[in-house]
Amino acid sequence: MTGGSGATVSLVPELRLIPRQEFGRARELDDLRLLADMCRANALVAVKRAGSGHLGSSFSALDIVVHLLWQELNVAELGWEHPDRDVFFSSKGHDVPGLYAALHALGVIPTERLLRLRRLGGLDGHPDVGVPGIEANSGSLGMGLSKGRGMAWAKRFLGRGGRVVVMTGDGELQEGQNWEALASAFHQGIGNLWAIVDRNELQSDRPTEEILALGDLVEKLRAFGWHVETCDGHDHEALATAFADMRAVPEDIPKALVARTIKGRGVSFMEHPAALREGGGTYRWHAGAPDDEHFARAHAELVGRIRERLPDVALEQVPPLEEPRAVSLEGEPESGVGVRPVTDEYVAAAYGEELLELAGRRPDLVVLDADLASDCRIRPFELAQPERFVEVGIAEQDLVSMAAGLARQGLLPVVNSFASFLASRANEQIYNQASEGTKVVYALHYAGLIPAGPGKSHQSIRDVSLLAALPGMTIVQPANAAETRELLRWAVEDADENVAIRLAIGPSPRRIELPEGETPGRGAVLREGTDALLFAYGPVMLHEALSAAEALGARGESVQVVSMPWLNCVDSGWLAELVEPFAEIFVLEDHAPVGALGDMLRREVDGRALTVFGVEGWPACGTPPEALRFHGLDGSSLANRIALSLRARTAS
Amino acid sequence: MTGGSGATVSLVPELRLIPRQEFGRARELDDLRLLADMCRANALVAVKRAGSGHLGSSFSALDIVVHLLWQELNVAELGWEHPDRDVFFSSKGHDVPGLYAALHALGVIPTERLLRLRRLGGLDGHPDVGVPGIEANSGSLGMGLSKGRGMAWAKRFLGRGGRVVVMTGDGELQEGQNWEALASAFHQGIGNLWAIVDRNELQSDRPTEEILALGDLVEKLRAFGWHVETCDGHDHEALATAFADMRAVPEDIPKALVARTIKGRGVSFMEHPAALREGGGTYRWHAGAPDDEHFARAHAELVGRIRERLPDVALEQVPPLEEPRAVSLEGEPESGVGVRPVTDEYVAAAYGEELLELAGRRPDLVVLDADLASDCRIRPFELAQPERFVEVGIAEQDLVSMAAGLARQGLLPVVNSFASFLASRANEQIYNQASEGTKVVYALHYAGLIPAGPGKSHQSIRDVSLLAALPGMTIVQPANAAETRELLRWAVEDADENVAIRLAIGPSPRRIELPEGETPGRGAVLREGTDALLFAYGPVMLHEALSAAEALGARGESVQVVSMPWLNCVDSGWLAELVEPFAEIFVLEDHAPVGALGDMLRREVDGRALTVFGVEGWPACGTPPEALRFHGLDGSSLANRIALSLRARTAS
């Protein structure tokens, strides 16, 4: 974070990339397995450099990706702009570091850009069509078969050649939208649509069959009318046979390949199931970059195997990062484990601990998860209270409606997922639940702009607006661990109706000091001031607000900073008294400028001018400082924006 | 509508209800089929009196409902508050008039309330837990199996007896959430959950197998791990056998019955497939009340068959309606056909016509539907341009993501569904599509408070807020047919990015006169005034705004009324000039007071006080005048609210 106290600098070990021309030599050997390993090595370097990324599913998918791009599809030959090209994309999107490595090897993505994975202006953490070779935005799971079907329908309608090949995860198939799309593809006779399931048997951090069994997937897909092949997804001869068989199937029948793969394939200690056993039942390589030692071991193993076929393979030293990175970037939590803190302040961790404590007092409390137990810090609850923990898999709509049913029987469900998925995909289900007059607590994890590495599919900058017009829903965001505990207790024990708690997922950039005791609708003054009043919420933006106030203070401008955790309700008397002395009021949103705290305050201080700083446009992908600076929301930019506004006022 | 010009009064024919005690006599005959017919007769009367309701699926489901409540389940015996009761509810919810009739027969719903179907304080048009005997809110399709699973899980956890039996439609199974829930129920071993599919083979107005084939449903359900029975859903012996077989299945396996039924069962001319043939391929009895002649024929046929078993069955005259109804209430469009207009002003109709005209000029235009082609007035497009019409069935997420795929291939998709479903259930898919930088036109039908008969599942009072924080989305709502054409042309031909067009589904209460020519971001003055400025949008609220201004004018207060179709963007210069002379600004929302035009105008006229009138709390179910009056949004209430505000200002 910008100017973060306590942030230490981590030196990335020497990183070496296989240059593009080496892939040409490998191609001449006609060894797709070798090409896949070479892509694995480069994806590993890119992820290590980025400090985050999904290696496990990149590695399970890479033999298939390489087979498709180098052998089966026409796109590398026709180019990524040709209307008759075969379109390939990954619906799960987590595996994009592998795809980036392949696109780099094919000359589509320049080396400089591969080295800017999860950096501003580089390669998004999840697929984005702004990147060359990327055909669809994904990362929000379960949409790919519908989108692919649209593309395939359009190709048929427009008389264009080429297939549309969509890679899906296996855990991803838990999303109901897939089954909508599967039924429609058969009904509409979209035979130029191919689905390839990367059946690596692991989802976020546990086996698919434990989280929510797919059962006999082949039987299910056939019941939905699809032609289904299965094969070993790392065996290129088997892949060639399967694809040939699929090509021979009648034109109007959609085709699926269930490819049995190994998560982490290619690096022995990352391979399932051994890696799962070593992790004590948790798979450590789903997300996040390996530490230096594991990186070195993994890279050596891959390069060793590559040298068996290409003994003189070149490895080019990667230029150093232009700027040192704070450790907080190392482990941007996103379905990953083992995050190293900058401070010991994690609102998410406090949330998980308090939830477990509340369970002791509240026998009616039930916790629901949609395959994000590690990130949402509810794994301890799951282990301690298994009979009160419900895992529904990657299925947010089912998650919410099941909670609605629990609540109708008098239980108090606490529903967990990422804010971007829960508030958005399950929005109608939340409305329906609320309309029954029951109470549910919605924990919106990963709320706000930061971390910005995973990209716009995961950054939640609309969730407050999505819930704000819902009757009987209080939306809060705590600023620190203690407030997280207080607000969660309030939500569980005192609130009469639904509560949505927005939670930042990363470590707090600084410890926010707050007075004890929460009064609904009232915030707290963090720093006194006289020239202007600045509202903010959540650890990320409060840090930036305080940094701005500190910078302005040094320049002689006195800004009062108020932490306002109540995002859609306010104590009117408190507010009126608070704002009265100030000629200028500013609001800093960890959200779009529309539909959150600023709009609520405008309704309340009707007739007072108010300036809102929020995430304008699409949230930027990059490191926290990059993203904050891009949106003009870092402390330094904010100080300048506020100073400008104050000066304009003085001048007028 | 209140004070609507040109609204003629329709006299409802004599209606006669079978009183409750007659069901006791029928019960003694042990004839469930007779009981079902008696429920049908009373449901028919209730729907005729209401002027709307879903008879087709009420009738297909009624033998099963009666069999469950009178014979299979313990709930009638234990009562609807007992923790060990069997819980029964319908996920589709359309069939609730039949369930209401059964609950009335069992003494749960009083006669007075049955006669207030779709009226304020009566029985909601779709199930609501505020009504005795109703276990879950539905009407938003596809949530029932998840909710039922939650209830069943809770029963097991709490040690409560009783099963949870969820009735689903067959078309409803197109919603992906069902398949999430089916997989989870098996995985979680929720054997006290029963699903009963009312397999009547027709959805909104066409056969399920045409819209989106379910294929071999039994095979699909079995592939998802469920125990599946099938039987004739009108044969009570077969139902008894099926239920007995289901009871014998091991405790941890969820059970489904696919009940083959006949839509419209019990009234010869409503029965599928004959009725479909007579309707020329459209089934006329899905929604809406029959006209007097068809009502009389249907009632006579049912009573005739009832008299074969109960020759002296009593029929009690229903008291007349307390207030005459405008014809506009007769055919509140909601998956129904044959609506009779008050005026010839329908924004929805103009939309459908203009869309067809645009197709001639724009070969890239493709229209997508989610089984609401009649209501969305795109059936003419479907018939004229079948190759450019895509039917995806009841699957809004698939609908939007398929459109995203079409747009990625350069086509211009126009996506149709009801606002409450499209903006909400497909919200994350819309975000994902928008993030690809393509352009899609979203037609949000049935937007706003009115018609209010179907209840809160269908009334869309949050859709603007759900889309407002989305980058690159313009939201508009036309006031009349001509403006609908203009805005649609603008959306298709001129807009650079996504456009959402909110459309009122009913006939306009009055013709709104507008100057020709649309300037983005600018509204039009409909009535000049000097004391206050009142913004409104859409035919329903503009009518109320004008009525209010007229009433205030008669009292000497001069209110200027502005039609503002641009809900999230405004021409700042135009606005500043417009509001400058006025001391008081009011905004009338056809939406919750949060997240729509009022909030946008507050952002723009920052520092000016502004009073917003919107739909506070849950939207009321009832006739249009009832709902508008309940929320204080009818012309007369508005006039009083504005007058009070003006007086308070003068006094201060």
Averaged pLDDT for residues B582-588:
97
Average pLDDT, chain B: 93
Interface of B with A in 145-164 (CB under 8 A): 146-155, 157-158, 160, 164
3-state DSSP helix/strand/coil percent for chain A, to nearest 5?
40, 15, 45
pLDDT per residue as tens digits for the range B599-608: 999 999 988 9
**Considering chain A, what percentage of its residues have pLDDT values greater than 70?**
95
Contacts of A413 in chain B (CB under 8 A): 150
Interfacial A residues in 566-595 facing B (CB < 8 Å): 568, 591-592, 594-595
Q: What was the pLDDT predicted at A624?
A: 95
Query: Could you tell me which of B535, B481, B536 has the C-alpha nearest to residue B508?
Result: B481
pLDDT surpassing 70 at residue A468: yes
If you average pLDDT over residues A630-641, what whole number do you get?
A: 98
Question: What pLDDT sits at residue B16?
Answer: 97
Residue of A nearest to B422 (CA): A428
- pLDDT for residue B322: 67
Q: Which two tokens stand for residue B607?
A: 């520092």
pLDDT bracket for residue B340 (50, 70, 90): very low
Residue numbers of B between 11 and 50 with CB closer than 8 Å to A: none
pLDDT in tens, A66-110: 999 999 999 999 999 999 999 999 999 999 999 999 999 999 999
Rounded to whole angstroms, the Cα distance separating B123 from B103 reads: 12
Alpha-carbon distance B516 to A576, whole Å?
45
Global pTM value: 0.95
Distance in angstroms (rounded) separating the CA atoms of residues B388 and B405: 15
* B375 phi-psi bin (left φ>0, alpha ψ -120 to 50, beta other): alpha
B253 touches chain A (CB under 8 A): no
Of A225, A174, A228, which Cα lies nearest the Cα of A196?
A228
Per-residue pLDDT at A1 = 33
Would you state the structure tokens that stand for residue B605, as one six-digit string? 């006229």
Q: Which residues pair with B87 in a beta bridge?
A: B164
What was the pLDDT predicted at B331? 37
Judged against a pLDDT cut of 70, whether residue A10 lies above it is answered with no
Is residue B7 over pLDDT 80? no
Location of structure tokens 């010839």: B344
Q: Give residues 613 to 632 of B whose Cβ lies within 8 Å of A.
A: 617-618
Helix (H) or strand (E) holding B377: none
Q: How far is B566 from chain A (nearest CA, A)?
A: 16
pLDDT of the residue at A493: 97
Q: What are phi and psi of B89, to 5 degrees?
A: -150, 165
Predicted confidence band at B14 (pLDDT cuts at 50, 70, 90)? Answer: confident
In whole angstroms, what is the distance from residue A60 CA to residue A270 CA? 10
Structural element, H or E, at residue A648: helix A635-651
Region B427-432 average pLDDT: 98
Whether A644 shows a pLDDT value over 60: the answer reads yes
pLDDT at B330: 33
The answer to whether A215 faces chain B, any CB pair under 8 Å, is yes
Q: Could you tell me which chain A residue has the CA closest to the CA of B135?
A: A408
pLDDT digits (tens, 9 = 90+) for A525-548: 999 999 999 999 999 999 999 999
Residue A570: its pLDDT value, please? 97
pLDDT of residue A205: 77
DSSP B423: H
Q: Which residues of B touch A597 (CB under 8 A)?
A: none
Please tell me the predicted confidence (pLDDT) of residue B345.
82
A:368-407 residues touching chain B, CB 8 A cutoff: 387-388, 390, 392-393, 395, 397-398, 400-407
Report the b/e string of B543-561 with b at 16+ CB within 10 A: bbbbbbbebbeeeebebbb
pLDDT by residue (tens digit) across A161-207? 999 999 999 999 999 999 999 999 999 999 999 999 999 999 987 99
Nearest to B183 by CA among A205, A382, A171: A171
**Predicted confidence band of residue A36 (pLDDT cuts 50, 70, 90):** very high
Tens digits of residue pLDDT in B301-333: 999 999 999 999 999 999 887 654 443 333 344
Residue A650: per-residue pLDDT: 81
pLDDT value at position A233? Answer: 98
- Percent of chain B whose predicted confidence (pLDDT) is above 90: 90
Quote the percentage of chain B above a pLDDT of 70: 95
Say if CB B262 and CB B58 are below 8 A apart. Answer: no
Contact B202, B261 (CB under 8 A): no
How many CB pairs below 8 Å do chains A and B form together?
353
Calculate the CA A65 to chain-centre distance: 22
- The pLDDT of residue A14 is 86
Q: Flag if B469 and A608 touch (Cβ within 8 Å).
A: no
- For residue B342, give the nearest of B543, B537, B552, B576 by alpha carbon: B543
Compute the average pLDDT of residues B618-643.
Answer: 97
Rounded to an integer, the average pLDDT of B113-122 is 96
Q: Which of A81, A135, A146, A567 to mutate to test the interface with B (most CBs of B within 10 A)?
A: A146
State mean pLDDT over B102-115: 97
Whether the per-residue pLDDT at A517 is higher than 90: the answer is no
* Beta carbons of A173 and B430 less than 8 angstroms apart: no
Cβ-proximal residues to B105 (8 Å cutoff; 6+ apart), any chain: B20, B23, B35, B38, B39, B42
* pLDDT band at residue A491 under the 50/70/90 scheme: very high
Alpha helices in B198-235 (DSSP H): 208-212, 217-223
Pairing of strands A87-90, B87-90: unpaired
- Closest by CA position to A266, among listed A575, A93, A494, A34: A34
| CA dist., res. A538 & res. A588, Å (int) | 10
DSSP sequence for A343-390: SS--HHHHHHHHHHHHHHH-TTEEEEESS-TTTTT-HHHHHH-GGGEE
H or E element at residue A17: strand A16-17
pLDDT of residue B11: 54
> How many angstroms separate the CA atoms of B266 and B611, rounded?
53
Tell me if B264 sits within 8 A of B234, measured CB to CB: no
pLDDT in tens, A125-153: 999 999 999 999 999 999 999 999 999 99
Instruction: Measure the CA dihedral A234/A238/A240/A246, to 10°.
Output: -110
Interior CA angle at A349 toward A348 and A353, to 5°? 120
Q: What is the pLDDT of residue A510?
A: 92
Interface touch A153/B406, C-beta < 8 Å:
yes
Question: ipTM score of the complex?
Answer: 0.95
What per-residue confidence (pLDDT) applies to A61? 98
Residue A458 in contact with residue A126, Cβ under 8 Å? yes
Q: Is B176 on the interface with A (CB under 8 A)?
A: yes
CB neighbour class for A634 (10 Å; exposed up to 12, middle 13-18, buried from 19)? buried
- The whole-number pLDDT of residue B466 equals 98
Query: Quick check: A404 and B181 CB within 8 A?
Result: no
User: Does residue A558 belong to the interface with chain B, where contact is any CB pair within 8 Å?
Assistant: no
- The per-residue pLDDT for B336 is 38
The residue behind tokens 């819209």 is B211
Q: In b/e form, how buried is each residue of A456-466, taking b as 16+ CB within 10 angstroms?
A: bbbbbbbbbbb
Flag whether residue B538 sits within 8 Å of chain A, measured between CB atoms.
no
pLDDT at site A323: 59
**Using one digit for the tens of pLDDT, what is the confidence trace for A266-318?**
999 999 999 999 988 889 999 999 999 999 999 999 999 999 999 999 999 99
DSSP assignments along B62-83, one per residue: HHHHHHIIIII-SHHHH-TT-T
Cβ-based contacts of B608 with chain A (< 8 Å): 607
Under an 8 A CB cutoff, do B469 and A457 touch? Answer: no
- Which of A164, A595, A607 is closest, CB to CB, to B465? A595
Q: Check A175 against B175: CB less than 8 A apart.
A: no
Measure CB to CB from residue A421 to each of B130, B149, B428 and give the nearest one: B428
Residue of B nearest to A208 (CA): B187
Confidence of residue B341 (pLDDT cuts 50, 70, 90): very low
Q: Is the pLDDT of residue A11 over 60?
A: no
Query: For B153-182, how does the pLDDT look when each residue is reduced to its tens digit (9 = 90+)?
Result: 999 999 999 999 999 999 999 999 999 999
The pLDDT score that the predictor gives to residue B205 is 77
Nearest-CA residue of chain A relative to B462?
Answer: A469
Q: Is the pLDDT of residue A21 over 60?
A: yes
Touching check for A468 and chain B: CB below 8 Å?
yes
Helix (H) or strand (E) holding B475: strand B473-476
> Whole-angstrom distance between the N-terminal and C-terminal Cα of chain A?
35
Beta strands in A464-544 (DSSP E): 473-476, 498-502, 524-527, 532-536
What count of other Cβ atoms lies within 10 Å of the Cβ of residue A632? 15
